[in-house]
Amino acid sequence: MTEQTNNLFIHLHMPKTAGTTLNSIIKKNYKSNEIIDLYESFKDHQEVVEKLQSLQLSGVKCINCHLSYGIHCHVTQPAKYVTMLREPIERVASEYYFIRNTPHHNLHDKVMKMDLLEFQQEPTNMNKQSKIVLGIPLSEDVSKADFRMGKQNIKADFAFIGITELFNESIVIMKKQFDWPDIQYGKKNITTNRPQVTDLPEHVIEELKQYNKVDYALYKYAIKLLKVRLMLLDSESKILLQAMNMNNGIS
C-alpha cells in the first residue's frame, strides 16, 4: 500500500526549487481530474480558507499550490504534504534574477530597482522556505526555536521533503512512495543568464546567510531525512537512480 492510498497529496510549490519540474512529473502520473492547481492570488488567509472549503475533492489526489503549511486543516479529507527545498542562497538568487528577467511578473518593476541584498532584506524573502514549511506568514519573523517546535509537524504531516540539489534522488523516492510509473522529466522554468552565487563577493554571501539561518537549519534537517530514505531504497530503485544520474550527467 502506498502513501497515496489514504491521503490527499498537497504539493507546497516552493519558488525556484524545481517545483515546476516536479509539477510536470505529477501531471504525468495522475489524471487531469485528479489534480487541482491552486495558483491564484489571494488577498488574505480567509479567502484561502473559503476557497479550500469550496473545493469538490471527491476523486482528487493532488493539490499543487503556492500556499503554506496549515491548509490541510481546511480540506475535508486526510492530507499529507510534499515540498522541495533548495540551498537557501541559491534559491533566493534564482528567484531574484527570475523576477528581473520576467517583465510580466507582478514584482518586476520593484525588483528592477533593487540589488540582491535589498531583495533579500525584504521581510517576505527572509527564511522564506522555513515560513512556508512551518506555516508562518511571510511577513513575520521565524526563529530556530520555531523550527525546533515545527519538527513534530514535519514528521507528522509531511510525506516527503525533497532537495533540489538531489532532485533525482528525491523523485526516485517519491516514485516508490507514491507508486508513480513515470518519473522521466525535462527541466522546467530555469532561470538562465544569472550570475553564479560563487561569483558573489564574500561579504554579500555572508550577509545572505545571516538572513537565512533558519532556512539553513531546515535544509540540513531535510537532507538528513532524505539520506536516511536513500539508505532504505530497494535494489531496483537504486539501479534506476544510477541510470538517471548517468543520463543527466550527474556523478
Q: What string of DSSP letters covers 42-62? A: -SSHHHHHHHHHH---TT--E
Which CATH number covers residue 226? Answer: 3.40.50.300
Q: Which helix (H) or strand (E) holds 146?
A: helix 144-157
> Along the 251 residues of the chain, how does pLDDT read in single tens digits?
355 556 899 999 999 999 999 999 999 999 999 999 998 888 788 898 898 888 888 899 999 999 999 999 999 889 999 999 999 999 999 999 999 999 999 999 999 999 999 999 999 999 999 999 999 999 999 999 999 999 999 999 999 999 999 999 999 999 999 999 999 998 776 766 778 889 999 999 999 999 999 999 999 999 999 999 999 999 999 999 999 998 864 43
Count the domains in the chain. Answer: 1
Range of the domain at 96: 3-247
pTM for the structure as a whole: 0.92
**What DSSP designation does 107 have?**
T
Q: CB–CB of 82/162 below 8 Å? A: yes
Report the amino acid identity of residue 136: I
